[in-house]
Amino acid sequence: MAGFFIIIAVKFFIIQHTAIRAYTYIYSLLQHIMNIIIINGPNLNLLGKREPEIYGGRTFKDYFAELQQKFPGITLSYYQSNIEGELITKIQDTGFSHDGIILNAGAYTHTSIGIADAVKAVSTPIVEVHISNTFSRESFRHRSYLSPVAAGVIIGFGLKSYELALHSFIYQS
């Protein structure tokens, strides 16, 4: 008879635990869905082809699809340009309407005061990311015009840097 009550208690616990998890999931769906854009700069359209020993062998398109699957509660969009002015325009266009911007400005990180000014001008928090550890590379890559005006900086974790940036927005909200 005691075994019967233990089984009932265990079943009740499982049902209750599942209900709590279901409630948490439904509650999270009812909350504001975050809208985050990833903006990539020059040469990042060549991921998977360009210097795989530094940047890896995956295309960003494949990686982006994986991010969308991992973070179904976030509306993720992606933009890439090799042109500085187009990157500035995209930051301005999305910098007041999105919950976050993940920005890998590529080589413009080290040269563009214009992109830094755009980052500073918008209200949306921006996390600067780099696939490689820029401090382990050429000395000109050690300077970032974006870091002082970004909400945060994540470098050197490969494509995982983008996922870490997404987590930073989730935990900040």
For 33-93, the DSSP string reads PEEEEEEE-TTGGGTTTS-HHHH-S--HHHHHHHHHHH-TTEEEEEEE-S-HHHHHHHHHH
**What tokens appear for 13 in the block?**
């616990």
Q: Which of 55, 63, 108, 162 is catalytic?
A: 55
Q: Which residues contact 137 (CB under 8 A, 6 or more apart)?
A: none
The residue among 66, 48, 67 whose CA lies nearest residue 58 is 48
**Residue 17 a catalytic site member:** no
**How many CB atoms sit inside 10 A of residue 38's CB?**
24
Q: Which of 63, 108, 130, 145 is catalytic?
A: 130
**Residue 108 a catalytic site member:** no
Residues labelled catalytic? 55, 130
